Amino acid sequence: MKISIPNASSLAGLARAWRDLAVWTALSGIQVELGDRGLGSAKTRTFRGSDGDEYLTRATIPGPLGCRLVVHRIHRGDEDPHPHSHPWRWARFLIASGGYDDERWTFDEDRDPPWRETRTRMRPGDVNVVGAGDYHRVVDVLPRTTTLGLLGPDVQGWGFMIPDGMGEFVPWQEYLLRKKSGEGRLTW
């Protein structure tokens, strides 16, 4: 079955499209197709790891006020050992199929060590809430993992947190350059 996403010209329309697609996918066992075969005018991009293998395919439908509707096909977990942030003020990801574990890193200067990792298993029907100040990693990805996301506007750049001591935020471009060159501190 082919799913068409209606033109989401308002925030309410975008939310309705996201909800409807989530319901259709979860209840009907529909496989969400990415690209021009199933998501109309969505912009689709596939991201690859340092080994050249696919790790994420994203179809994006822009909405009003900088918000977006996205469908993610997660092919594998994050390869980097450090947690990353996102640029969005807020995001909600409904797990439509498959699943993964979300490693979340939180900071509390009164703790020793101040950084703590928690892991949450995300399965179909679960919603992962991610904010601009959250640091996480997606790990232990199950086959055919698909998420449906509603993203708020961008409020920052994204990057990685090196949780040594008080933590060092490294913008993603710098992180990848340091990783590739072997220069700089990217260890715990």
- Give the pLDDT confidence score for residue 7 in this predicted structure: 44
Structural domain boundaries in the chain = 11-157
Assess contact for 103 and 115: CB atoms under 8 A.
Answer: no
- Residue 174's region, left for phi above 0, alpha for psi from -120 to 50, else beta, is alpha
Q: How far, CA to CA in Å, does 136 sit from each of 41, 82, 108?
A: 30, 8, 16
- Give the pLDDT confidence score for residue 18 in this predicted structure: 54
- Give the pLDDT confidence score for residue 122 in this predicted structure: 96
Amino acid identity, residue 22?
A
- Give the pLDDT confidence score for residue 21 in this predicted structure: 56
Reported CATH class of domain 11-157: mainly beta
Positions in the chain whose pLDDT score sits under 70: 1-42, 113-114, 163-166, 182-188
Residue 92 CA, chain-centre distance (Å), reads: 9
Tens-place pLDDT, residues 113-139:
667 888 999 999 999 999 888 889 999
Assess contact for 144 and 81: CB atoms under 8 A.
Answer: no
Assess contact for 138 and 72: CB atoms under 8 A.
Answer: no
- Rounded to the nearest 10°, the torsion over CA 14, 20, 25, 31 is -60
- Give the pLDDT confidence score for residue 71 in this predicted structure: 93
